[in-house]
Structure formats: C-alpha cells, structure tokens
Amino acid sequence: MAVKTLSLDGQLISARDGQTLLEAARESGVSIPTLCHLDGLDPVGACRLCLVEVNGRLMPSCLTRVAEEMEVWTQTERLQRYRKQIVELLFAERNHICSVCVANGNCELQDLAMRLGVDHLRYAPQEPQCEVDLSHERYGLDHNRCVLCTRCVRVCDEIEGAHTWDVAGRGTNCRVITDLHQPWGSASTCTSCGKCVMACPTGALFHRGASVSENVHDRETLHALILAREEKQWLV
C-alpha cells in the first residue's frame, strides 16, 4: 500500500494512500473538531468545522485525501475563529437551551462550545417556531435541537437501508423529515431500529420517557455494526 508523507501543523507525518486528512490527523494525535462527520457514514463536508488550511486553501478535512507534500495546518488563528463563529451561528439558529435538554452533558454541540471557548453569543437568536414530534412510540424528534448535520438521514439510508429520513425546505427553513413529511409515528418505512437516535449529535432525536442520564447516544453500537459489515470484524 502506498504511503504519502505530508506536513501536519509543521510536523512531517506519513499516511496511507486514500486516507482523509481527518483520519491521518487523528492517527497522529491531532484532533480536528467535527459535527456532521461520523465514522462509517459518507462524509458530506457540510458543517465546515473540520476545515483545515492546505497549502493556503481551506479544505474540509473529512473529504480531502492525503497527498504527497501537502502542507496542512489545522489550528491556525483564522480556523479557530471560523470554528467559533460556526458554533455560535448554530446556537443562534435554533433553541439550544442546555439546561432543559435531554442531551445535556452528552451533546456534541455542547462539547464543541466548551472546547472552542464559546461563552457568549454575539448573534441574535433566530428563535424559530419549531415543532416536537412525539408520534413515534419509542423515540421523539425535537426540531429545536436539530443542527441539520444529516447524520440521521445518512445512517438510515446507508446503514439501515430504509431511507426514512430526508431534508425538506430551503435555507434556515430546512427540517429533517420522515417519509413524505409525515409524523414519524406514521412513517411506514421506519423500522424503529433507533440508529438515527444513536447517530444524533444533540438532543434532537431522543428516547421517549428516558431521563437525561439515560439518553446516551450510543456510537459504539454503530461503529461495531459498520466494522462487522465492512471489515467482517465481529466484536462480541
């Protein structure tokens, strides 16, 4: 297998051909913040948090493949500023009130805010009118917490194979929907497998009737499933 050497934050590293910059960076112990990315799902490069500077250009590290003699910077002042702005924009976009959220303490958006030092918002909250869909017997959907990362859409399509989820609307009026914009409970394609809930980074998708401490997003099960299918590794 071909190996590429590149520079990452000034250090020379080697990476396997075909690896993304995100994977190579993680292997080298450099952590790049992400939100829409989830190992095993097709990357979409939508949240723009994992942008890195490659030879002076901004590239999404989840999608950019390593190449010989790349010069990559992952933590420049400019990138940190953009990341902070993006998280602030997300907080201002919907109603992310952590103190009354089922994902409090187990939320990737909250983690990002702490990691990036977002301690106040400079942008006016949009305060949209968002619905809560409790029509499904086991799960709930709270649009107030949704960051439109489309992990639920992809996990349902790519891992479960049901494609119950999709996105409707345009711009800030985008909403994740089930089937043809029916209540989740009446979406006939839904298999109630719960993978979308496992994949959700925030409290948008949750187990009904579970407390904050019980609403843990179980990424391990997802990863195990992906490993089992793609690499025939069965972790018992």
Q: Per CB under 8 A, does 55 bind another protein?
A: no
Give the number of residues written for the chain.
Answer: 236
Query: Considering the rule CB under 8 A, would residue 91 count as an interface residue with another protein?
Result: yes
Helix axis angle for 108-116 and 77-93, nearest 10°, is 140
Under the binding rule (CB under 8 A), the answer on residue 86 touching another protein is yes
Are the beta carbons of 147 and 202 closer than 8 angstroms?
yes
Give CA separation, 7 vs 29, 140, 190, 198, in Å: 14, 45, 45, 35
Which of 1, 77, 99, 236 touches another protein (CB under 8 A)? 99
Residue 35 CB, nearest distance to another protein (Å)?
A: 8
Listed in sequence order, the DSSP H helices in 13-59 are: 21-27
Q: Which of residues 179-218 bind another protein (CB under 8 A)?
A: none
User: Using the rule CB under 8 A, which residue among 9, 23, 27, 93 binds another protein?
Assistant: 93
Question: Among the candidate windows 8-16, 46-54, 66-74, 137-145, which touches another protein by CB under 8 A?
Answer: 46-54
> Cα separations (Å) of 125 from 16, 48, 92, 95, 128?
43, 20, 4, 8, 9
Q: How far is the CB of 183 from another protein (least distance, A)?
A: 21
Scanning 21-29, 89-97, 135-143, 227-235 for contacts with another protein by CB under 8 A, the matching segment is: 89-97
SS (H, E, C) 126-163: CCCCCCEECCCCCEEEEHHHCCCCCHHHHHHHHHHCCC
Q: Which helix (H) or strand (E) holds 88?
A: helix 77-93
Q: How far is the CB of 233 from another protein (least distance, A)?
A: 29
Least distance between another protein and beta carbon 51 (Å):
6
What is the C-alpha to C-alpha distance for residues 113 and 120, in angstroms, rounded to an integer?
Answer: 10
Residue 173 or 188 with smaller CB distance to another protein:
173
- Residue 154 as a binder of another protein (CB under 8 A): the answer is no
Q: What angle do CA 156, 157, 161 make, to 5 degrees?
A: 90
- C-beta of 42 vs 220, nearer to another protein: 42
Interface pattern 117-146 for another protein (x via CB under 8 A): -xxxxxxxxx--------------------
167 binds another protein (CB under 8 A): yes
- Footprint on this chain of another protein (rule: CB under 8 A): 44-49, 51, 58, 60, 63, 82, 85-86, 89-93, 96-99, 113, 118-126, 147-148, 166-167, 169-174
